[in-house]
Structure 1
Amino acid sequence: MKRLNLFILIAALMPFAAVAHAGDIREPASPFDTGTSATHHATGKIAKVDGTANMLTLAHGPVTTLNWPPMTMAFGVQNTRLLDKLSEGQTIDFEFTYDGSNYIITEVQ
């Protein structure tokens, strides 16, 4: 009878133990949540210059700091005057950061 009572008590407390430890589980950091201080570098070919949206679409190589493979994606630009100096088909080295919602090019070489 004591064993049965102990088993019932343990079974009743199990959900509370799981909840207590759930806060200890940490998800791996998302590459989209890198913070604003992280600066990343890549090389890419300009696929589109969009002055209306202040965006550059780049077919870029791998970004090792984010574990990204090569891909094509749009980036915002920190300095919109930069768009006047760039053209489709041009290959650039660039640095970018994440502002919490978008990837923003901060420097082009």
Structure 2
Amino acid sequence: MKNSLLTILAAAMCFAAGPSIAQPATPAPAQSAQVQLTDAEVRKVDKSAGKITLKHGEIKSLDMPPMTMVFGVKDAAMLDQVKAGDKIRFAATSQDGKFTVTEIQAAQ
């Protein structure tokens, strides 16, 4: 009887503790690394300064309303892809108060 009680107690403790380490873990769902793009129109390209002026829609990731503003670019080669008047989709980040375009795609 004493052994039965210990066995039940041990089983209850294992159940309460959850799955043991020896059991294979289920893989975590893959995180979506999808970048949110914003529609914009290129107003000006300043290759010498590494800047682009965009009239853009709301940038949800930056909590920014639609406006026209100047951005730096992550890579100056991005500026070779665009000219004033082009419709684009872009991603941007903010670091230390500086807004930087990190991706540019032609709008479809």
Deviations for 1:53-73, whole angstroms, at most 9, x for unmatched residues? 100000001122333221000
Matches within 5 A, 1:21-100: 41-100=37-96
Report the 3-state secondary structure (helix = DSSP H, G, I; strand = E; otherwise coil) of the residue aligned with 2:68.
Answer: strand
Kept in 2, the 8 Å contact 1:40–1:97? The answer is no
2:97 paired residue number: 101
Question: Between Structure 1 and Structure 2, whose CA radius of gyration is higher?
Answer: 2
TM normalised by structure 1 equals 0.59
Kept in 1, the 8 Å contact 2:43–2:54? The answer is yes
Kept in 1, the 8 Å contact 2:62–2:94? The answer is no
Bigger relative CO (Cα 8 Å, ≥ 6 apart): 1
Instruction: Output the aligned Cα RMSD.
Output: 1.5
- Once the two structures are TM-superposed, the CA of residue 40 in structure 1 deviates from its matched residue by 5.6
Determine the C-alpha separation between the residues in 2 that align with 1:40 and 1:73: 19
Q: Which moved more, 1:67-76 or 1:48-57?
A: 67-76
TM normalised by structure 2 equals 0.60
Q: Which runs of 5+ in 2 are unaligned?
A: 1-34
The one-letter amino acid of 1:44's match is A
Determine the C-alpha separation between the residues in 1 that align with 2:64 and 2:57: 9
Structure number having the greater helix percentage: 1
Moved over 4 A (4+): none
